[in-house]
Amino acid sequence: MSNLDLANAYNPDVLNCLANLSSDEVFTPPEIANQMLDLLPEELWHDPHATFLDPACKTGVFLREIAKRLLVGLEDQIPDQQERIDHIFHEQIFGIAITELTSLMTRRSLYCSKYPNGRYSVSPFADASGNIYYRETQHRWVNGRCAFCGASQEVYDRDPGLETHAYAFIHTMQPEEIFNMKFDVIIGNPPYQLSDGGNSASAIPIYHLFVEQAKKLNPRYLTMIIPSRWFSSGRGLDQFRNEMLHDDRIRQIHDFIDASDSFPGVQIKGGVCYFLWDRDKRGNCKVVTHRGATMNNALERPLLEDGSDVFIRYNEAIEIFHKVKKFNEESFDNLVSSSKPFGFRATYRGKMHSLEDDIILYRIGGIEFISRSEIRQNKDIIDKWKVFIPRLGSGSDSFPHTILGKPFIGEPGTVCTETYLVIGPFKTREECINVITYVSTRFFRFLVLLRKPTQDATQRVYKFVPMQDFSKPWTDEELYTKYGLTDEEIAFIESMIRPMEIEAGEKDE
């Protein structure tokens, strides 16, 4: 190949070419790392005393990009290039790797050598770790769970030589002792979750533990990229969500509705976000929504709106929310059951043929039968009119979509497994039909969307939906008029929510 060919050859960044470890431990593309670094003030790159920590190193991309900026920013203060490199790598940049493999990758990215005390390191260190810390860490088991991260002993107490996934930064009460120093900036992309020993989809989030631990170190700035589901849901995240939404030091949130717009080829239900926490400045937060390759909408606003206990991620929805809230109507969630309304798991199997005193059981895959005597919960609504609605709604992060599964009438003498929730009970079949017309409106499902970041549509996602008079059917046009929505607000709702074509009768089997 000629020199000209070499000059024009495509030479991708190696960190863009790595496959992710899993959807829980996602490698950060250099473009996203630099977008996060752009949130930081420019003067940091000219400060030879500024210190940086990545507490969850995977590829070393954050530290590498920080080093590149400091190499330019400190040129006037430290003109000699090697002296400048040595100062940056020894005095300013630090990392904690999540595994032994990622410690080697990070050192290779940063020092150009897996072993910074070797001949190929661009800045020699006295030992093989440099400023990238890794020590094999163990979980602390208490009653079958790790006291630090909640990991299942059944899953993670395993043979030596296998990764423990006991991440050093969150498995200590004193993280400041790892390096015995303070940091101006903490930045990273922590692991997102760990299996909890349940079924294949059962996992506990851990990313919030990295955010909480980082705040304990009291840096000047904190920025991390994490799943967006903390905005309104997430197992074990209630306290974290409450603290984040009441923290007016969070000055920016960049929200990616579709995670693949930030992590190509990765699916993370509910999307991802990165944020900037500024220790010394308080105020409203700049909320930026990213869709595709564009930055769609930016608005400075409080993280927590009056009347809301969750973060409303869509800026365009704020005024709609306030218009609905102004009516001060009872919440529709009072009509919606909790999970397992009759006490049966989704895997419960009834009988294929009806016997005397049996009633209909709706479960995933169709209709079966069950003896009335087997029902232990909500016996009082067995023989009443009700509406069944799937607990799992649409999980797509692309819009428009339907948000919820199709509801159907539950006649007297019917029950269901946890595959469905129950809406009701009602006195007449006509009321059920009218409720279904309401659920089928885009208006209804848009308000559900504001509290539903993933497929799971539990009772809590219906909290923003106002109650209506169910002696009559409802249409979107009536609801838009009732709540005084503008043409722009209607257009936004309809850009997000797909029409739902339903027959307001029994489930078609």
Cα separation, 117 vs 258, in Å, equals 42
**Structural domains present in the chain:** 3-222 (3.40.50), 332-496 (3.90.220)
**Residue 292: what pLDDT?**
74
Residue 178 has a CB neighbour count (10 Å cut-off) of: 17
Place of tokens 């210190």: 51
**C-alpha R_g of the chain:** 27
Task: Collect contacts of 68-77 with beta carbons under 8 A, ≥24 apart.
Answer: 69/37, 69/45, 70/45, 72/45, 73/44, 73/45, 73/46, 73/47, 74/45, 74/46, 74/48, 77/46, 77/48
**Residue 17: what pLDDT?**
41
**Residue 294: what pLDDT?**
64
Residue 111 has a CB neighbour count (10 Å cut-off) of: 27
Q: Which two tokens stand for residue 474?
A: 């409802």
Cα separation, 228 vs 256, in Å, equals 8
Peptide bond into 190 cis (omega under 30): no
Cα distances from 88 to residues 95, 106, 185, 239, in angstroms, run 13, 15, 14, 37
Cα separation, 176 vs 214, in Å, equals 10
Residue 308's Cβ-side half-sphere holds a number of Cα atoms within 13 Å equal to 28
118 — phi, psi (to 5°)?
Answer: -95, 180
Please list, in sequence order, all residues whose beta carbon lies within 8 angstroms of the beta carbon of residue 188, skipping any fewer than 6 positions away.
Answer: 54, 55, 56, 57, 62, 210, 224, 225
Per DSSP, 372 falls in state G
**Residue 357: what pLDDT?**
80
Q: Is the dihedral angle over the CA atoms 73, 74, 80, 82 positive or is it negative?
A: negative
**3-class DSSP assignment, residue 434:** helix
**Residue 293: what pLDDT?**
65
Partner residues linked to 361 by β-bridges: 368, 415
- As a whole number of Å, the end-to-end CA separation of the chain is 65
Partner residues linked to 295 by β-bridges: 290
Residue 170 and residue 127 in contact, taking contact as beta carbons nearer than 8 Å: no
**Residue 395: what pLDDT?**
56
| Cα angle value 243/245/251 (rounded, 5°) | 110
Cα separation, 255 vs 262, in Å, equals 10
* pLDDT, block means (10 residues), the chain with 509 residues: 41 48 71 96 97 96 97 97 97 95 94 93 94 93 93 86 87 92 96 74 87 96 96 89 96 92 84 96 95 78 92 95 97 96 91 84 91 92 96 74 94 95 97 97 97 89 97 98 98 95 58
Partner residues linked to 185 by β-bridges: 52, 221
Cα separation, 264 vs 267, in Å, equals 9
Identify which of 107, 128, 104 has the alpha carbon closest to the alpha carbon of residue 117. 128
The DSSP string of 253-280 is EEEESSGGGTSTT---TT-EEEEEEETT
**Residue 158: what pLDDT?**
82
Cα separation, 335 vs 434, in Å, equals 14
